[in-house]
Structure 1
């Protein structure tokens, strides 16, 4: 089966660092032209990214108007979009739900859930008109299980999974396949936002006894976005080291 992405154009949101950068590197290595979307793309040169980006696009994914402008600019620069990876996200505070700051709740849902809708809202008509495409939404095990003290993040990622299922059914005959990945905790700089207790508790839930690596996420996303994944849509692919078996 064909896993090559040669000639395809991919957008990866939140791709200036962390999981998004790992995904972007893998898509590029597999032959895609890659547009880096991030709130701040300053300094995203080939040395820091590890590859030469085909397009750098500053965008606030929590703003529909910003997403709409960014998509237009990307199409103008690269001609089309075949693959969209909705990766941008934030963790938010680690506190009990009854103490969760209202403004932080709204911000987490805006960045982690609304952005997925906004990006799909602008990309899907383009893909349908072109006869197909692939969308991969980065959810989380928290969206399946609900994780204590990160209720906004859990709720947002559960919303991403449900939105993906709904949109996938609508698009099933349009050759626009939309799937999720649900990682467990990945070793990135976002660890700085979490307490040691939260990190250790998360690791203890993973039967493999280690955290997910960025390269492993990239490999899974690249396969889902490729022609090799041809008869699966609306599915959530597990990346939890055995924590989730459903």
Structure 2
């Protein structure tokens, strides 16, 4: 059984339909705006027309108690939770840092980060009670590289990435796979920015990655995957090997900047503790 948030259209609808096609019952979450069609019900109808099983959930994920209510609905409808796909999100308005007001920043973070964390907290006991649980955070490369004009969106996705990687480390012994998918797709949320490539960037072209990450065949955890246009990549954070100098000065750093920045032999780490331990070992070895 899977919960997919923001699944009324775009990527979320594609993800929900793909998981249903793989045999999972799906709780299709999407808030219903006043005067708008019930897009969650439309996705459910599409799934059922293809022989799948689904139910609609209309909670706004940012509403108080929405996370708990969504989990209750999923368990009541399908008996438990095996897969959690955290897809719902907003981009917020285009605004450079100096013009970005605090209320806008908080609104984007409330949806893209705090609501996601609340749903994880609510679903975690149920995921732990069943073997092979999967949590997939739908993030963005904006959280890795930044995004000019959308600092709130980039910040929210950066926060989500750090949270997801921490959670993956915590749940490693529980056998729950936690990974991040960063899809590129032409969707209603990206209207006007990717229209020319809408066919190539159709949401369905990212679904193979989502299906794999949600499947028992995937043993990866704590990883970041990028998908779009039928292209798939893994992304990682790395640190250069660097140099050591106990009496370093700004002038020394300027003289050695190229060597310090050289990523030959760069390393990635499972958790900040491992990164610190590696740096400390280098520092201690140099001191000895």
> Post-superposition shift, 1:42?
2.5
> Post-superposition shift, 1:211?
5.7
Q: Is it true that 1:229 corresponds to 2:218 in the alignment?
A: yes
Q: Is it true that 1:51 corresponds to 2:47 in the alignment?
A: yes
**Counterpart-to-counterpart distance in 1, 2:145 and 2:234:** 9
Tell me what 1:214 maps to. Answer: 203
Tell me what 1:129 maps to. Answer: 129
Q: Deviations over 1:88-127 (max 9, x none)?
A: 0011011111101322211111111112101111111111
Tell me what 2:226 maps to. Answer: 238
Unaligned runs of 5+ in 2: 237-288
> Post-superposition shift, 1:217?
2.1
- Whether the 8 Å CA contact 1:141–1:244 is kept in 2: the answer is no
Give matches, 1:69-80, under 5 Å.
Answer: 69-80=69-80
Secondary structure in structure 2 of the residue aligned to 1:238: strand
**Counterpart-to-counterpart distance in 2, 1:180 and 1:33:** 22
Match of 1:19 among 11, 19, 42: 11
Secondary structure in structure 1 of the residue aligned to 2:65: helix
**Counterpart-to-counterpart distance in 2, 1:126 and 1:67:** 13
Q: Deviations over 1:212-234 (max 9, x none)?
A: 3201222211110000102x111
Q: Deviations over 1:63-98 (max 9, x none)?
A: 351111121121011111100000000110111111
Q: CA RMSD for the aligned pairs?
A: 2.6
- Could you tell which deviates more after superposition, 104-113 or 40-49? 40-49
Give matches, 1:133-144, under 5 Å.
Answer: 133-144=133-144
- Whether the 8 Å CA contact 1:135–1:178 is kept in 2: the answer is yes
- Whether the 8 Å CA contact 2:10–2:188 is kept in 1: the answer is yes
The alignment covers a number of residue pairs equal to: 226
The TM-score, its normalising length taken from structure 2, stands at 0.72
Tell me what 2:186 maps to. Answer: 187
Larger Rg: 2
Unaligned runs of 5+ in 1: 1-8
Secondary structure in structure 2 of the residue aligned to 1:130: coil
**Counterpart-to-counterpart distance in 1, 2:112 and 2:23:** 28
Give matches, 1:63-212, under 5 Å.
Answer: 63-184=63-184, 186-192=185-191, 199=193, 212=201
Bigger relative CO (Cα 8 Å, ≥ 6 apart): 1
**Counterpart-to-counterpart distance in 1, 2:166 and 2:54:** 32
